[in-house]
Structure 1
C-alpha cells in the first residue's frame, strides 16, 4: 500500500474558503452567490457537508460546518434554524466575508483560519461555603 496516497487523501488540497468557492462555481441550485457577489447562501447543509467531504474536509455535522465558517471569519447574516418562526419559511443560511467575493478569486487566498488558543487553567472545585460568598 502506498503511504503517500493515504496521507494525501486524508488532507484537503485546499482551504475551506477555496473549497466553498469551487462548490459555488459549479452552479448548484442549493448553494449560490448573492446578486452582488458578496454573500453566499445555502439551503441544504447535508449536501454541503457531503461536497466538502469529497474535497477532503471532514465536516460531519452542522456544528463542525458552522465552526469552519466561524474559524475563517465568516459572518452569519441569516440562519435557517430560525426559519420555523419565520412566516415566509426562509430556509436559506447566509454567510459573508469581506475577502470572499464572487469575482475576486485571488482575495480568497488572504483568508486565514483563526486559531483560538485557550490555556488550560486549573480550577479549584468549589465548596458550598465558598459558593455562599457569591450570593
Structure 2
C-alpha cells in the first residue's frame, strides 16, 4: 500500500479559497459577492460549513471556519458572531482579500496558506459594524 495515499486520502482536493470560490459561483442566496466582486459575505455559517464538508474539508464549527479565513489572510470587515441570535439570517459576515476577486479566479488559486502564526498584542475589538457602507 502506498503511504502517500494513506496520508492524503481524507485531504480536500482544493484549497480553502478554491472551495470558497466554487461555492460562491454556484448561485446561493446565503453567500454572495458584492457588486464589484472584491468582497464576499454570508449569513449562514452552518450552511457554509456543510458546503465545505461536502468538498472534503473537516470544518466542524465557526472557530474552524474562522481559522481557515485567517490562515489564508482574509480580512474580516464585519462580524455577525457578536450580534444577537438572528432567526431571519439578516446579519451578514463580510470578508475580503486582495487576491480573491470574482472576475479573476487565477489570483484566487494562487492564495497560499500562511505557515507561521503571527503573535499579536491583545486588543479588544469593537462591536460589528451594522453600517452597509462596508459592503459597497
SS at match of 1:37: coil
Choose 1 or 2 for highest CA Rg: 1
Query: How many correspondences in the alignment?
Result: 115
Q: How does 1:60-71 map to 2 (within 5 A)?
A: 60-71=60-71
Paired residues of 2:31 and 2:41 also in contact (CA < 8 A): yes
Paired residues of 1:9 and 1:56 also in contact (CA < 8 A): no
Q: Does 1:96 align with 2:96?
A: yes
Paired residues of 2:43 and 2:90 also in contact (CA < 8 A): no
The corresponding residue for 1:112 is: 112
| Normalised TM-score (structure 2) | 0.75
CA distance in 2 between counterparts of 1:78 and 1:22 reads: 22
Structure with the greater relative contact order (CA < 8 A, sep ≥ 6): 1 or 2? Answer: 2
Instruction: Using the TM superposition, give the Cα deviation of residue 18 of structure 1 relative to its aligned residue in structure 2, in angstroms.
Output: 0.2
Runs of 4+ in 1 over 3 A off after TM superposition: 3-9
Instruction: Using the TM superposition, give the Cα deviation of residue 99 of structure 1 relative to its aligned residue in structure 2, in angstroms.
Output: 0.2
Instruction: Using the TM superposition, give the Cα deviation of residue 82 of structure 1 relative to its aligned residue in structure 2, in angstroms.
Output: 2.7
Where does the alignment leave 5 or more consecutive residues of structure 2 unmatched? 119-136
Change (3 A) 1:117 1:99: closer
Residue deviations 1:74-120 (CA, integer Å, cap 9, x gap)? 00000002333xxxx951000000000000001012210002269xx
The corresponding residue for 2:15 is: 15
Where does the alignment leave 5 or more consecutive residues of structure 1 unmatched? 119-135
Over the aligned positions, Cα root-mean-square deviation in angstroms equals: 2.4
